[in-house]
Structure 1
Amino acid sequence: MANFTAADIKSLREKTGAGMLAVKNALDEADGDQAKAIEILRVKGLKGVTKREDRSTTDGLVTAHVDGGTGVLIELNSETDFVAKSDKFIELAEKVLAYVVEAGQSDVEALLAAEFDGKTLKAHIDEGGAALGEKVALRRVARVTGGSIEQYMHRTNPDLPPQVGVLLGFDGSDQAAAHDVAVHVAAMAPKYLTRDEVPEADVANERRIAEDTAKNENKPERAIPKIVEGRVNGFFKENVLLDQPFAKEPKKTVGAIVEEAGVTLTGFARFRVGS
């Protein structure tokens, strides 16, 4: 009979996050040797990773780190909200975030292939998923810079970790105004900061659609240019942060609000889990 106690089982469960039966079987197989049992659990757990590769990861969380004028935002996905709210998953997310901050880059593929603590980030994530019994995936990473960074994390469900995260880079001293804009970004989901950031091809496509629509509506030929410009401006108001009506004061644009506050926006990132 293997030489281990209930305390050994408890200790190994805390170290690995594996279930009681899996831990007991691993200790049996390892004849009570904890290090060997951990290796057994890792091997058996990672065998399950391949089976989980095609599973959908639509739950999870967003988390962020701000240090001076740099902010990092990540989205880590799980298969279920049950796992997303677990302490083990939240700990894994913080471990991944710490590495991403240290790595200093945003390319997810490059980050997953990079090594720390003797193995790749993907291996760390896969092992975490194995312990949780679900596929876990790093979906997105964003970095935002500015004189200051405002962070806003929103819980769409009070029982879950944050599902919407915003980082807003800005120059200026009005922190309250920056916070209000970060909340606005969370709610209104702009895609671009300024009109200049919108790809020319997208603007041309919107202009073509607006013109075709006006013609199909039998609008007077002389009125079509003005109608097209109005509809393209409507596209900008929907997608460009500085052009959007400010959520707290819709008669003013976000651009007008930050100008009044003496704030210049330098960039933003917004993630919503699964979208």
Structure 2
Amino acid sequence: MAAITAALIKQVREETGAGMMDVKKALTEAEGDVTRAKEIIRAKGIEAAGKREGRSAQEGTIASTVVDSAAGQTGYAVELNSETDFVAKTPKFVDFAKNVLDQAVKVQASDAEQILAAPSDDGTVKETVEEAASLFGEHVKIGQVAKIEGPHVEIYAHKKSAEMPPSIVAMIATDEAGASVAHEAALQISAMGAKWLTREDVPADVVEAERRVATEKSQAEGKPEQIIPKIVEGRLNAFYKENVLLEQEYVKDTSKSIGDLFKQVGGQALAFARIEVGKGEEE
């Protein structure tokens, strides 16, 4: 059994929002296993774990573009972080983000490490970004990076207010037939934050954890044992509808799913990505 330290309690509290005593009880029941403790908290309905919107409070913007490629089109999105929104909305910062994006496209980067290692006028992009601190008077860094490919790539860049640069970028790759509904799908991705394209893309361990939580929650609610399997499947289907893009209800017409939109035009969604400022890994 792992020691239940103050640091461990603090970690679970920050990741679930549950109270100290609830966290201590869950960790004790889980014998110090953080993942299991979070499942117990969810099963008891103490906190809707997994809904928390990330710990990062970073500001910044996201630069994005679509270029022609061997696959048809390739979409790139790069988050550039600053300490304050005051700096993030300045034209110089927005232009700097676009320059970093240009370097990402040149080296066909799919992650931050590849961008940082790319050559620039003054050495590498890493050195250029580090030197930007003196230009903006704040720490500047590259955050999340996304790259997707397909016959057609659609990008939707969302601004939270007119004076701010894009803070959410959604990209989706489709076949040619699916291009006609790609914009609507990109809007959906931006608004609803799907995590996977199809239910087959959901990792097996995630499905198993959801099944376990649904079972324990049903038991805690006193449901008859003989109907618990049916209830669990219903809750799993609800999980898919919330987190799987093609199974989500279309926000503009809830009688349809996003999958239905593609079926109507005989098209396919191939891949998608969503970046929101400040929602990546903390340093």
**TM-score, length-scaled by structure 1:** 0.77
Alignment counterpart, residue 230 of structure 1, candidates 234, 237, 241: 234
Q: Which amino acid aligns with 1:223?
A: I
Report what 1:44 is aligned to. Answer: none
Alignment counterpart, residue 129 of structure 2, candidates 122, 125, 132: 125
The alignment status of 1:180 with 2:184, answered yes or no, reads yes
Deviation at 1:115, TM superposition (A): 2.9
Q: Structure 2 unaligned segments of length 5 or more: list them.
A: 1-55
Instruction: Give me the CA root mean square deviation.
Output: 1.4
The alignment status of 1:61 with 2:61, answered yes or no, reads yes
Distance (whole Å) between structure 1 residues aligned to residue 258 and residue 57 of structure 2: 34
Distance (whole Å) between structure 2 residues aligned to residue 221 and residue 133 of structure 1: 62
Deviation at 1:104, TM superposition (A): 1.3
- Cα 1:252–1:218 change in 2 (3 A) is same
Deviation at 1:117, TM superposition (A): 2.6
What per-residue deviation string (whole Å, max 9, x for no partner) do you get for residues 173-200 of structure 1? 4544111111011000001111111110
Structure number with the higher helix fraction is: 1
Distance (whole Å) between structure 2 residues aligned to residue 137 and residue 76 of structure 1: 6
Distance (whole Å) between structure 2 residues aligned to residue 226 and residue 77 of structure 1: 46
Deviation at 1:109, TM superposition (A): 2.3
Q: Structure 1 unaligned segments of length 5 or more: list them.
A: 1-55
What secondary structure does 1:224 align onto?
helix
What secondary structure does 2:64 align onto?
strand
Deviation at 1:232, TM superposition (A): 0.7
The alignment status of 1:146 with 2:146, answered yes or no, reads no
Task: List structure 1 segments (4+ residues) > 4 angstroms apart after TM superposition.
Answer: none
Distance (whole Å) between structure 1 residues aligned to residue 112 and residue 147 of structure 2: 12
Report what 2:37 is aligned to. Answer: none
Distance (whole Å) between structure 1 residues aligned to residue 74 and residue 204 of structure 2: 29
Distance (whole Å) between structure 1 residues aligned to residue 236 and residue 178 of structure 2: 32
Deviation at 1:263, TM superposition (A): 1.8
What per-residue deviation string (whole Å, max 9, x for no partner) do you get for residues 232-259 of structure 1? 1111111100110111111111111111
Deviation at 1:207, TM superposition (A): 0.1
Distance (whole Å) between structure 1 residues aligned to residue 97 and residue 58 of structure 2: 15
What per-residue deviation string (whole Å, max 9, x for no partner) do you get for residues 12-51 of structure 1? xxxxxxxxxxxxxxxxxxxxxxxxxxxxxxxxxxxxxxxx
What secondary structure does 2:80 align onto?
strand
- Cα 1:191–1:174 change in 2 (3 A) is closer
Structure with the greater alpha carbon radius of gyration: 1
What secondary structure does 2:163 align onto?
coil
The alignment status of 1:211 with 2:215, answered yes or no, reads yes
Report what 2:79 is aligned to. Answer: 75
Report what 1:91 is aligned to. Answer: 95
8 Å Cα contact 2:130/2:140 also seen in 1 = yes
**TM-score, length-scaled by structure 2:** 0.75
Q: Which amino acid aligns with 2:258?
A: V
Alignment counterpart, residue 110 of structure 1, candidates 100, 109, 114: 114
Alignment counterpart, residue 243 of structure 1, candidates 220, 243, 247: 247
Deviation at 1:62, TM superposition (A): 0.9
Q: Which amino acid aligns with 1:64?
A: S
Distance (whole Å) between structure 2 residues aligned to residue 110 and residue 152 of structure 1: 24
8 Å Cα contact 1:92/1:125 also seen in 2 = no
